[in-house]
Amino acid sequence: MSGAVLAARRSPGFAASTLLAVRLAWRQLWSEKARLASAIAGVMFACVLVFMQLGFRAALFDSATALIAAMRGDLFLMHPLTTASFRSEPLPRVRAWQVLALPEVERTVPIYLAQATWRNPETGTRRAIQLVGVDTDAGVVDFPGLEPLLDRLKRADTMAFDQRSRPEFGPVAQMLAERGPFEVQVGNRDMEVVGLIEIGPSFGADGNIVLSDVNFRRVVKERQLSSIDLVAIRLRPGADVLAAQARLRALLPPDVMVLTQAELTAHERSYWEDTTPIGFIFSFGSLMGLVVGMVIVYQILFSDIAGHLKEYATLKAMGYSNFYLAQVVLGAALILAVAGFIPGFVVSALLYDVIGSATFLPLSMDVPRATTVFLMIFTMCGVAGLLAMRKLRDANPADMF
């Protein structure tokens, strides 16, 4: 008989052994379908929660900046103390005319912002609505549907109503279609609705109306026309925006900020993100969802390992490495991530539709967010797997005998 020699076996490569580990993980999960279902439900729950929180968060920021995003302009002037457009600090209108000193400035337009009460034309209840007053001829503010209304808005006591405003303002679109332009009390004045535009409600304002600067003054009587909220500046074609911004900063007194449109949007956004707890609440909500999901996945993986300690120890005795078993556990975690994400994604997309149409918030599924959530869920399951893996140390083949 020949002497015993270690058989020279080539172990499978990393990819092959990972594949086998994941297959083993899948077989283990599949063998206990009730447990698998509850694990998937847990991941799905976390997934939906995160999608909702991030969706609301993005909707808030999108809607908060919808008004700003719709304004055309190369540069804007705003009072440094203005934290958000719905609660603006007035600045002197003369700043708008001072800007014209620069040769590259083509036009400037003062914008008036205020909130007033709107009386629901059907029920008579009152609710605060955002007023946007602007020289409608200047072509600085652009909202879908505004263009054909420009002539009508020049008449006294007329306004355009944002048809995406919340339904509490009354069935304005329907009434307009049925009986044509009609009067609604805004502030203490009867104003005529002459047409519809689209902006969308935000967390700061449930609805919007756009009207000329002159009509704005008629509604908001206490406001001096010389006191404005925002200035939009149009530069001559080919002018360097940043250079003009620098020159304006040098030119103007410190009671105004000179911002590009992107900076203005970011400023508006940062109000909601940083100076209100709202951004934090949604981030916190997402985190809670992930923590709950992680605990569920951890529990499932942990009890799977605890219930199979002898078998795992046997695998170790058979020459399977710790690394292989770690791959099995991580494989199970990642299977759960994928299996939970898919239904979570579908349910979230449906909920976005339902909630979006109920709240009029711009909730929509997009690829970057889906990718972000998938990575979060993937990480969540991965961390749960890494935590559960510590239990593998208890699978000691020397204790098997």
Partner 1 sequence: MVAPTQAEAPVLLRGITFAYGEGELRKAVLRDVDLTVAPGEIVLLTGPSGSGKTTLLTLIGALRAMQEGSARVLGQELRGANESARVRLRRNIGFIFQNHNLLGFLTARQNVAMALEQDAALSEGQRLARAAELLAQVGLAEHLDKPPSQLSGGQRQRVSVARALAVDPGLVLADEPTAALDKASGHEVVQLLRGLAKSRGVPILLVTHDPRILDIADRVVAMEDGRIVSATAQNNAAA
Q: For binding to partner 1 (CB under 8 A), which residues are involved? A: 1-7, 9-13, 16, 20, 24, 27-28, 30-32, 308, 310-311, 313-321, 397-398, 400-401
Q: At 367, list the tokens.
A: 């690829």
Closest C-alpha among 37, 59, 42 to residue 377: 42
User: Of the two residues 3 and 254, which places its CB atom closer to partner 1 in the complex?
Assistant: 3
Contacts of 161 by beta carbon, 8 Å cutoff, 6+ apart? 169, 172, 173, 176, 193, 195, 196, 197, 207, 209
User: Of the two residues 116 and 325, which places its CB atom closer to partner 1 in the complex?
Assistant: 325
Element (H, E) at 323: helix 322-359
User: Of the two residues 22 and 176, which places its CB atom closer to partner 1 in the complex?
Assistant: 22
Q: Residue 378 Cβ, how far from partner 1 at the closest point, in Å?
A: 25
Residue in the structure block whose two tokens are 């879908």: 144
User: Of the two residues 26 and 203, which places its CB atom closer to partner 1 in the complex?
Assistant: 26
Q: Residue 296 Cβ, how far from partner 1 at the closest point, in Å?
A: 21
The whole-angstrom separation of Cα 146 and Cα 31 is: 61
Residue in the structure block whose two tokens are 């540069």: 75
The whole-angstrom separation of Cα 22 and Cα 4 is: 34
CA within 13 Å, CB half, 23:
6
User: Considering Cα of 50, then 52, then 55, then 59, what sign does the dihedral take?
Assistant: negative
Closest C-alpha among 218, 248, 230 to residue 141: 230
Q: At 289, list the tokens.
A: 């969802």
DSSP class of residue 32 equals S
Q: Residue 315 Cβ, how far from partner 1 at the closest point, in Å?
A: 8
User: Of the two residues 25 and 235, which places its CB atom closer to partner 1 in the complex?
Assistant: 25
Q: Residue 16 Cβ, how far from partner 1 at the closest point, in Å?
A: 6
Q: Residue 37 Cβ, how far from partner 1 at the closest point, in Å?
A: 16
User: Of the two residues 6 and 262, which places its CB atom closer to partner 1 in the complex?
Assistant: 6
Residue in the structure block whose two tokens are 């934290």: 83
Closest C-alpha among 209, 215, 216 to residue 193: 209
User: Of the two residues 13 and 368, which places its CB atom closer to partner 1 in the complex?
Assistant: 13
User: Of the two residues 59 and 325, which places its CB atom closer to partner 1 in the complex?
Assistant: 325
Integer-rounded Cα radius of gyration of the chain? 31
Q: Residue 5 Cβ, how far from partner 1 at the closest point, in Å?
A: 6
Q: Residue 262 Cβ, how far from partner 1 at the closest point, in Å?
A: 56
Q: Residue 30 Cβ, how far from partner 1 at the closest point, in Å?
A: 7
**3-class secondary-structure state, position 114:** strand
